[in-house]
């Protein structure tokens, strides 16, 4: 078998440039590589085209050079068309997943004029998909009508889509707001609906996934009304529980196809920890410098390279560094390009095209390129920082790799605790299965939202089921709110409103900001920024970067949702200062464990961005401050918090200052452990240390010590406060909450224990960015250890609780 | 098993440890949980529970009769001599050309709905239709007294539509008809019968948009029919009235909705003829002459269109004057068109200057005058070409002379 594989891969030899680069990195930077993995090349496994395949379709495939299928494609065909089983296909990037659903859909359209509905998480992906379908369609002269239906579909074209489309491609938001509430217009379509395709299934987790499951409940309910029972075909990147997630999304059993028959090239993966530059403080070189270095070596070796960064800002910074090297002459076509959310669709299409046609050597991207946007094969993938989940890591690494060539992935750890944990325990990452994607379709508020939407679409009758809670009680509740009217055994919608309009599947605030370039006559929109990040990126004075070109924000029209910018030449970028203050509105649940009290409840968060720092490129020194004058942002959300009784506080810490430092350090570690526990991105969860009455909140000041401040920024003396009862808050970083804090309350001991372990296992002596956050050199001299203080706080939180023994 | 126990069990299946119950815990009752979580999003608007009002009682108070379960009908006959605003209803018999064609069996239709949002969950609780006999306008208004009456009302509406040759509405193409179609599909499972449809909103917009602040039906009535609605229940409040009735509120104001709807459909019957008059004499009715002229042109009466535009020449805006010049040129009256263009060109209108340049080049073949006009035009590629061409043409005779 091994012989056969080698015979079939003559080009994979030691002189492959990817292998040469991997070997060079291994030789030169042995101490930085903490783990590695080589996956050998895999041969393809094939199966014949199904005999029952429509001859026109078979011919279209053969014309395009497809004379046989990969084994998983055939397996999918047999399960979907033969047994009519809901199916989820989980195979790597570029393994021909789309054919798994295109074949049954096209066959059904050709043979029986049956319809198919395709759902993609974003508009951009829908458009790619239709283009691909149309190619196959035209190649075979199949005469299938595939249309996208989204916000951009012109009004006069919509009717044609509804009545004449064989395959309608849309996204969950459009299905939720534009299709289901108008299902009678789609009657013909639903009556003949045979297949529903859900691609990129792994994106439907957490809040979005919980909403999606409810949209699917509504879709199936409407289908039943028209007498249709479509088969669902789902595709997903690798996650631990594809069949389970698919089953939860559908509310039905789903068969999983996980064995790919597609051939794959050899893959090298290196885990990379930047070198320590200050052992006492546990400070390492930045992942940014390391990622740039690896990318430089890769591009110089003429390898197509992708660098993933964790934030839009970091994309711009890295792009600038790499452009400084590879694009010094602006008259020449650029070799380096950035790709991220916020760029205009046209710009993104151009970059995708340039990648596919190999006109660009290096792209720096956020997770926006993680999804199935077609950019062709790349050779090297550099991850600047751990993406947060094992699944996303493999998904991004999968961007490098072509069928018959080796590929290299390098995961460069940042100083974040999670990153450090991963690279120091390579076995954990390399052996671990990807995470479970979890959804909670019965999250009460999400469910209630969709019961409203469903009642608008079709009246509920007694005995109907929708979700896991008692539907009767939900209906009675809505009846009491005068949203529904009960007549005999039927509940009718009576409100003068369109409920889907007020339910956002992504739970993101409304109203994007447009970034307008004043030098272009005030007409040129150069980017869009979503509402939630506008305050911290578009304040007046901010340096906003597009393709690493700096623009300065001159004016921010908050109500008009516009920022006016001008190109500028500066040697610094800006970073907003964030003051957040919490007030407890109500505790839903409390648990006492010894001297600690943990609670879960509703909080009111006020966020103020009072100013920003100017940070010089390369040296990263702080070269100035600016003021920001923006309205406070308020949000009601849910949180879980830990407090100590006054006595315990006094016993644990010699002074209030140390208590404050201890709480801040504990919060830092708990925040990171908690995001692992609930499989969220760290930014989905917020953390704060403050007083539960919002009289003050704590930050780490320039001196490296905790300070307490009022929201106006006035510093207060902890010893002068009449009442001093700090609390660690972890909150859902979305208005209304997204259901993260309730499971955290249930696993409160696991969070505390995990934070304890993280700090205890850390090699540093007094604290470092990998455990309790950065500390100053002077702490050690003063004989004070913030690490000890954090442990003191956590040990008290972890006081034995007979009910909660972890 | 009680719901709270079930919730506990569910939470344990999801990996939660059994919770020690404390007084604050309150995680047992779904209702309590809903109220707590939902509180910040909506005001509790619970209504007092009242006894519902019977269909018979309502029918009696509104002068109607119950025609099916939960469906009442108010039928009235209005003599054509009766006035609607300052116009007689007999206007319904007058010519409507060229605004629209009104066959003898036309149904004028307007609905009152549970909301303005549209979508499957919005329904009509009242359908009002008017049709005409030799001496009267007949109005029929169906009103459902429960959701269960909707099927019968839609059936009656479908019957009326099936009998009609045409249907006239105001904004019916955007609102009333899609809504009825959607509910008919939902309740009856079949498509609503279709009739030729005239939506009067479109000609009203065309004729008056530039002159009126808005084109709501109430504005049309005030401007054209002299109808001031006194104590009228605004259409936007109709959904509330029906909801109040459903909730058993004795002050439900459905009588107001009925009256409002009747006025609406009566207005529909006289409006086509009024719009026709406005198209005949736009100045007298405050209509935009250019729009009136367009209507006539569309129906092949260019002469009439020209006459209308000429009659209001002083008030015509640039677009109107261009339209007049265009019609004159197309009917062989180029000299008159030239006068209009010249007047406009003197005011700096580039488009008129261009027309003149074309006219002198291609019709009069007076290249010097044409060039004079062309040179005043902007510097786009098209104009540059024209200027170069004209210069060449002007030079040609000279070159010929030299050659000789």
In tens, the pLDDT along A41-94 reads 889 999 999 999 999 999 999 988 889 999 999 999 999 999 999 999 998 877
Shared domain check, A794 and A752: yes
Mutation test of the interface with chain B: which of A241, A496, A753, choosing the one with the most B Cβ atoms within 10 A?
Answer: A496
Q: Which residues of B312-331 are buried (b: 16+ CB within 10 A; e: fewer)?
A: beeebeeebbbbbbebbbee
Shared domain check, B322 and B274: no
Shared domain check, A52 and A194: yes
Per DSSP, which regions of A466-621 are E strands?
A: 484-487, 490-493, 513-517, 524-529, 543-546, 549-557, 562-567, 572-593, 596-616
Beta carbons of A190 and B126 less than 8 angstroms apart: no
Note the pLDDT of residue A122.
75
Residue of B nearest to A178 (CA): B119
Would you place residue A181 in the very low, low, confident or very high pLDDT band (cuts 50, 70, 90)? Answer: very high
Would you place residue B383 in the very low, low, confident or very high pLDDT band (cuts 50, 70, 90)? Answer: confident
Q: Which two tokens stand for residue A119?
A: 């759902």
Q: Does any domain span residue A311?
A: yes
Of A156, A168, A158, the closest CA to residue A193 belongs to A168
* B116 to A586: CB separation less than 8 angstroms, yes or no: no
**B235 CA: distance to closest CA in chain A (Å):** 13
* A586 to B47: CB separation less than 8 angstroms, yes or no: no
* A589 to B46: CB separation less than 8 angstroms, yes or no: no
* A499 to B121: CB separation less than 8 angstroms, yes or no: yes
For range A510-521, the mean pLDDT: 78
Q: Based on the structure, what is the number of domains in chain B? A: 3
Shared domain check, A230 and A124: yes
Residues of B in contact with A218 (CB under 8 A): none
Exposure of A778 in the CB half-sphere (CA atoms within 13 A): 4
Q: Which residues of B362-387 are buried (b: 16+ CB within 10 A; e: fewer)?
A: eeeeebebbbebbeebeeeeebeebb
* B147 to A487: CB separation less than 8 angstroms, yes or no: yes
Tens of pLDDT, residues A460-489: 999 999 998 889 999 998 998 889 999 999
| Residues paired with residue A197 on neighbouring β-strands, in sequence order | A118, A233
Say which CATH number the domain at B198 has: 3.30.420.10
Note the pLDDT of residue A657.
87
**What is the domain extent for residue A323?**
2-32+264-431
Shared domain check, B317 and B220: no
Residues of B in contact with A500 (CB under 8 A): 119
Domain end residue (candidates: A230, A257, A284): A257
Exposure of A73 in the CB half-sphere (CA atoms within 13 A): 25
| Cα–Cα distance, A372 to A377 (Å, whole number) | 12
Q: Based on the structure, what is the number of domains in chain A? A: 4
| Cα–Cα distance, A528 to A543 (Å, whole number) | 15
Shared domain check, A210 and A283: no
Exposure of A490 in the CB half-sphere (CA atoms within 13 A): 10
Of the candidates B6, B24, B239, the beta carbon closest to that of A589 is on B24
With tokens 């002379």, the residue in question is B401
Tens of pLDDT, residues A247-300: 999 999 999 999 999 888 899 999 999 998 876 666 788 899 999 999 999 999
Burial category of A30 from C-beta neighbours within 10 Å (exposed 0-12, middle 13-18, buried 19 and up): exposed
Q: Which two tokens stand for residue B396?
A: 């040609």
| Cα–Cα distance, A365 to A343 (Å, whole number) | 11
Domain end residue (candidates: A431, A455, A484): A431
What Rg, from alpha-carbon coordinates, does chain B have?
32
Of the candidates B18, B45, B114, the beta carbon closest to that of A496 is on B114
Shared domain check, B34 and B60: no
Note the pLDDT of residue A118.
96
For range A542-557, the mean pLDDT: 86
Note the pLDDT of residue A392.
81
Shared domain check, B329 and B264: no
Shared domain check, B296 and B235: no
Shared domain check, A385 and A244: no
| Residues paired with residue A400 on neighbouring β-strands, in sequence order | A378
Helix (H/G/I), strand (E/B), else coil: A406? coil
Domain end residue (candidates: A555, A570, A585): A570
Q: Which residues of A139-176 are buried (b: 16+ CB within 10 A; e: fewer)?
A: ebebebebbbbbeebeeeeeeebbeebbbbbbbbbbbb
Residues of B in contact with A187 (CB under 8 A): 185
Would you place residue A504 in the very low, low, confident or very high pLDDT band (cuts 50, 70, 90)? Answer: confident
Q: Does any domain span residue B118?
A: yes
Q: Does any domain span residue B297?
A: yes
**B193 CA: distance to closest CA in chain A (Å):** 15
Q: Does any domain span residue A42?
A: no
Q: How far is the CA of B167 from the CAs of B104, B117, B161, B257, in angstroms? A: 11, 23, 7, 22
Shared domain check, B307 and B200: no
Shared domain check, A223 and A366: no
Shared domain check, B155 and B20: no
| Cα–Cα distance, A621 to A296 (Å, whole number) | 24
Shared domain check, A534 and A579: no
Shared domain check, A752 and A606: yes
SS (H, E, C) B144-197: ECCHHHHHHHHHHHHHHHHHCCEEEECCHHHHHHHHHHHHHHHHCCCCCCCCEE
A39-48, A506-515, A617-626: segment of lowest average pLDDT? A506-515
Note the pLDDT of residue A3.
34
Would you place residue B1 in the very low, low, confident or very high pLDDT band (cuts 50, 70, 90)? Answer: very low
Say which CATH number the domain at B322 has: 1.25.40.10
Q: Which two tokens stand for residue B241?
A: 């009235």
Q: Does any domain span residue A467?
A: no
Q: Does any domain span residue A38?
A: no
Residue B399: which residues within 8 A CB-CB, separation 6 or more? Answer: none
Shared domain check, A637 and A749: yes
Q: Which two tokens stand for residue A715?
A: 């510093």
Of A145, A119, A125, A120, the closest CA to residue A134 belongs to A145
Of the candidates B19, B38, B121, the beta carbon closest to that of A445 is on B38
Shared domain check, B18 and B137: no
Does residue A627 carry a pLDDT above 80?
A: yes
**A640 CA: distance to closest CA in chain B (Å):** 14
Shared domain check, A115 and A20: no
Shared domain check, A684 and A789: yes
Instruction: List for chain B the helix, strand, coil content (%; round to 5).
Output: 55, 15, 35
Note the pLDDT of residue A278.
73
Of the candidates B22, B46, B47, the beta carbon closest to that of A590 is on B22
* Residue A468 forms contact with B (CB below 8 Å): yes
Shared domain check, A346 and A208: no
Shared domain check, B252 and B118: yes
| Cα–Cα distance, B315 to A757 (Å, whole number) | 85
Domain end residue (candidates: B280, B307, B339): B280
Q: Does any domain span residue A439?
A: no
Shared domain check, B276 and B149: yes
Respond yes or no on whether the N-terminal peptide bond of residue B98 is cis (omega within 30° of 0): yes
Q: Does any domain span residue A379?
A: yes
Domain end residue (candidates: B255, B280, B305): B280
Say which CATH number the domain at A293 has: 3.40.50.300
Beta carbons of A214 and A191 less than 8 angstroms apart: no
Element (H, E) at B311: helix B302-311
Residues of A in contact with B49 (CB under 8 A): none
Tens of pLDDT, residues A685-730: 888 898 877 788 887 766 667 888 887 777 888 888 878 889 999 9
Shared domain check, B76 and B193: yes
* Residue A474 forms contact with B (CB below 8 Å): yes
Shared domain check, B259 and B202: yes
Q: Does any domain span residue B380?
A: yes
Mutation test of the interface with chain A: which of B37, B40, B121, B147, choosing the one with the most A Cβ atoms within 10 A?
Answer: B121
Q: Does any domain span residue B49?
A: no
Note the pLDDT of residue A569.
87
* A497 to B115: CB separation less than 8 angstroms, yes or no: yes
* A498 to B16: CB separation less than 8 angstroms, yes or no: no
Does residue B26 carry a pLDDT above 60?
A: no
Q: What are phi and psi of B108, to 5 degrees?
A: -95, 125
| Residues paired with residue B337 on neighbouring β-strands, in sequence order | none
Higher pLDDT, A779 or A11: A779
Q: What is the ipTM of this complex?
A: 0.81
Tens of pLDDT, residues A218-228: 999 999 999 99
A169-178, A283-292, A433-442, B365-374: segment of lowest average pLDDT? A433-442
Domain end residue (candidates: B259, B280, B301): B280
Note the pLDDT of residue A5.
34
With tokens 């009735």, the residue in question is B245
Of A652, A768, A342, the closest CA to residue A528 belongs to A342
Orientation of helix A242-250 relative to helix A206-225, angle to 10°: 50
Does residue A327 carry a pLDDT above 80?
A: yes
Beta carbons of B120 and B182 less than 8 angstroms apart: yes
**What is the domain extent for residue B166?**
55-280
Chain B, residues 245-264, CB within 8 A of chain A, namely 246-247
User: How many other CB atoms are there within 10 angstroms of residue B16's CB atom?
Assistant: 15
What Rg, from alpha-carbon coordinates, does chain A have?
28
Q: Does any domain span residue A452?
A: no
Residues of B in contact with A804 (CB under 8 A): 17
Residues of B in contact with A743 (CB under 8 A): 15-16
Each as own residue / partner, the long-range contacts of residues A340-344 (CB below 8 Å, 24 or more positions apart, any chain) are: A340/A312, A340/A315, A340/A365, A340/A366, A340/A368, A341/A312, A341/A366, A341/A368, A341/A530, A342/A312, A342/A527, A342/A528, A342/A529, A342/A530, A343/A527, A343/A546, A344/A525, A344/A526, A344/A527, A344/A528
| Cα–Cα distance, A699 to A705 (Å, whole number) | 8
Q: Does any domain span residue A688?
A: yes
């Amino acid at each position: 078998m091994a012989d056969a594989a080698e015979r079939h891969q003559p080009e994979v030899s030691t002189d492959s440039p990817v292998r040469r680069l991997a070997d060079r990195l291994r030789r030169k930077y042995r101490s930085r590589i903490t783990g590695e993995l080589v996956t050998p090349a895999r041969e393809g496994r094939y199966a014949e085209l199904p005999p029952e395949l429509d001859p026109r379709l078979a011919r279209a495939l053969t014309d395009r050079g497809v004379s046989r299928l990969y084994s998983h494609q055939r397996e999918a065909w047999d399960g979907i068309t033969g047994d009519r089983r809901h199916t989820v296909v989980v195979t790597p990037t570029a393994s021909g997943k789309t054919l798994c659903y295109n074949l049954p859909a096209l066959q059904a359209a050709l043979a029986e004029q049956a319809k198919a509905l395709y759902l993609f998480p974003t508009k951009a992906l829908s458009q790619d998909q239709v283009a691909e379908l149309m190619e196959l369609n035209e190649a075979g002269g199949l005469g299938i009508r595939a249309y996208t239906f989204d916000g951009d579909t012109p009004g006069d074209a919509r009717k044609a889509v509804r009545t004449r489309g064989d395959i309608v491609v849309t996204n969950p938001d459009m299905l939720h707001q534009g299709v289901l509430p108008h299902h009678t217009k789609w009657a013909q379509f639903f009556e003949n609906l045979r297949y529903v395709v859900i691609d990129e299934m792994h994106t439907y987790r957490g809040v979005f996934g919980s909403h999606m499951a409810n949209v699917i409940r509504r879709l199936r309910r409407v289908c039943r009304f028209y007498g249709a029972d479509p088969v669902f075909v789902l595709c997903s990147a690798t996650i631990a529980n594809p069949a389970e997630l698919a089953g939860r999304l559908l509310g039905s059993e789903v068969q999983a196809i996980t064995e790919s028959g597609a051939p794959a090239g050899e893959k090298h993966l290196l885990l990379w920890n930047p070198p320590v530059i200050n052992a006492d403080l546990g400070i390492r070189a930045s992942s940014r410098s390391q990622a740039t270095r690896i990318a430089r070596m890769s591009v110089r070796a003429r390898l197509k390279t992708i660098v993933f960064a964790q934030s839009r800002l970091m994309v711009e910074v890295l792009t600038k560094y790499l452009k400084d090297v590879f694009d010094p002459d602006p008259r020449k076509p650029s070799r380096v390009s950035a790709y991220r959310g916020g760029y205009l669709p046209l710009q993104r299409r151009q970059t995708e095209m340039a990648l596919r046609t190999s006109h660009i050597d290096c792209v720096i991207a956020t997770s926006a390129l993680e999804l199935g946007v077609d950019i062709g094969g790349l050779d090297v993938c550099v991850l600047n920082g751990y993406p947060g989940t094992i699944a996303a890591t493999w998904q991004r690494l999968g961007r490098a790799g072509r069928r018959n060539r080796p590929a290299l992935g390098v995961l460069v750890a940042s100083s974040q605790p999670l990153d450090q944990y991963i690279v120091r325990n390579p076995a954990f990452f390399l052996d671990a299965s990807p995470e479970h994607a979890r959804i909670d379709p019965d999250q009460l508020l999400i469910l209630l939202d969709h019961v409203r939407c469903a009642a608008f679409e079709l009246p509920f009758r007694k005995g109907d089921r929708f979700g896991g809670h008692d539907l009767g009680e939900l209906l009675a509740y809505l009846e009491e709110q005068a949203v529904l009217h009960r007549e005999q055994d039927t509940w009718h919608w009576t409100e003068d409103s369109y409920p889907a309009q007020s339910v956002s599947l992504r739970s993101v605030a409304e109203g994007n900001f447009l970034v307008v370039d004043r030098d272009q006559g005030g007409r040129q929109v150069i980017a869009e920024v979503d509402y939630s990040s506008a305050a911290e990126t578009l304040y007046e004075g901010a340096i906003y970067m597009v393709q690493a070109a700096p623009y300065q924000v001159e004016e921010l029209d908050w109500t008009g949702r516009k920022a006016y910018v001008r190109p500028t030449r500066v040697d610094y970028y800006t970073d907003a200062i964030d003051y957040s203050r919490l007030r407890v509105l109500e505790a839903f649940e409390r648990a006492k464990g010894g001297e600690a009290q943990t609670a879960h409840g509703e909080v009111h968060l006020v966020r103020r961005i009072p100013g920003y720092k100017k940070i010089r490129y390369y040296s990263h020194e702080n070269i100035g401050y600016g003021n920001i004058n923006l309205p406070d942002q308020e949000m009601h959300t849910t949180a879980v918090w830990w407090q100590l009784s006054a006595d315990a506080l006094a016993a644990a810490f010699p002074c209030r200052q140390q208590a404050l430092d201890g709480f801040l350090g504990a919060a830092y570690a708990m925040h990171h452990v908690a995001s692992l526990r609930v499989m969220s991105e760290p930014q989905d969860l917020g953390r704060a240390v403050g007083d539960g009455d919002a009289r003050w909140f704590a930050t780490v000041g320039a001196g490296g010590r905790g300070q307490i401040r009022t929201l106006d920024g006035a510093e207060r003396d902890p010893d002068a406060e009449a009442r001093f009862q700090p609390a660690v808050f972890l909150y859902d970083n979305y208005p209304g909450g997204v259901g993260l804090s309730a499971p955290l309350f249930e696993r409160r001991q696991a969070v505390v224990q995990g934070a304890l372990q993280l700090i205890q296992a850390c090699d540093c002596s007094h604290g470092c960015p990998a455990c309790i956050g950065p500390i100053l050199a002077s702490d050690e001299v003063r004989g004070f250890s913030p690490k000890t203080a954090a442990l003191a706080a956590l040990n008290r939180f972890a006081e034995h609780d007979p009910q909660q023994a972890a | 098993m009680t719901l709270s126990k079930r919730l506990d069990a569910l939470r344990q299946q999801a990996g939660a440890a059994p919770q020690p119950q404390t007084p604050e815990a309150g995680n047992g009752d779904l209702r309590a949980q809903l109220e707590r979580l939902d509180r910040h999003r909506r005001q509790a608007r619970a209504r007092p529970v009242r006894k519902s009002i019977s269909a018979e009682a309502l029918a009696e108070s509104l002068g109607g009769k119950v025609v099916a379960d939960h469906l009442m009908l108010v039928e009235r006959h209005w003599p054509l001599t009766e006035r609607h605003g300052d116009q007689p209803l007999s206007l319904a018999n007058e010519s409507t050309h060229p605004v629209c064609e009104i066959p003898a069996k036309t149904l004028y239709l307007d609905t009152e709905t549970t909301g303005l949002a549209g979508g499957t969950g919005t329904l009509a609780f009242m359908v009002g239709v008017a049709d005409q006999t030799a001496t009267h306008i007949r109005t029929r208004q169906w009103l459902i007294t429960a959701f269960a009456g909707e099927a019968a009302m839609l059936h009656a509406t479908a019957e009326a539509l099936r009998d009609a040759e045409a249907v006239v509405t105001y904004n019916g193409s955007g609102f009333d008809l899609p809504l009825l179609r959607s509910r008919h599909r939902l309740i009856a499972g079949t498509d609503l019968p279709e009739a030729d449809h005239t939506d009067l909103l479109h000609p009203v917009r065309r004729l008056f948009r530039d002159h009126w602040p808005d084109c709501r039906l109430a504005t049309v009535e005030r401007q054209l029919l002299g109808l001031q609605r006194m104590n009228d229940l605004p259409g936007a409040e109709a959904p509330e009235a029906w909801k109040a009735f459903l909730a058993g509120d004795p002050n439900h104001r459905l009588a107001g909705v009925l009256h409002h709807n009747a006025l609406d459909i009566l207005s529909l019957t006289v409006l086509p003829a009024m719009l026709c008059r406005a198209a005949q004499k736009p100045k007298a009715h405050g209509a935009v002459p250019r729009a009136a002229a367009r209507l006539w042109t569309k129906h092949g009466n260019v002469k009439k269109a020209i006459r209308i535009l000429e009659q209001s020449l002083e008030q015509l805006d640039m677009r109107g004057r261009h339209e007049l010049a265009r019609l004159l040129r197309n009917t062989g009256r180029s000299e008159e068109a030239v006068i209009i263009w010249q007047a406009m060109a003197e005011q700096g209108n580039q488009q008129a200057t261009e027309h003149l340049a074309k006219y002198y080049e291609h019709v009069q073949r007076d290249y010097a005058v044409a060039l004079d006009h062309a040179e005043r035009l902007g510097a786009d590629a098209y104009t540059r070409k024209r200027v170069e061409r004209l210069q060449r043409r002007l030079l040609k005779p000279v070159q010929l002379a030299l050659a000789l």
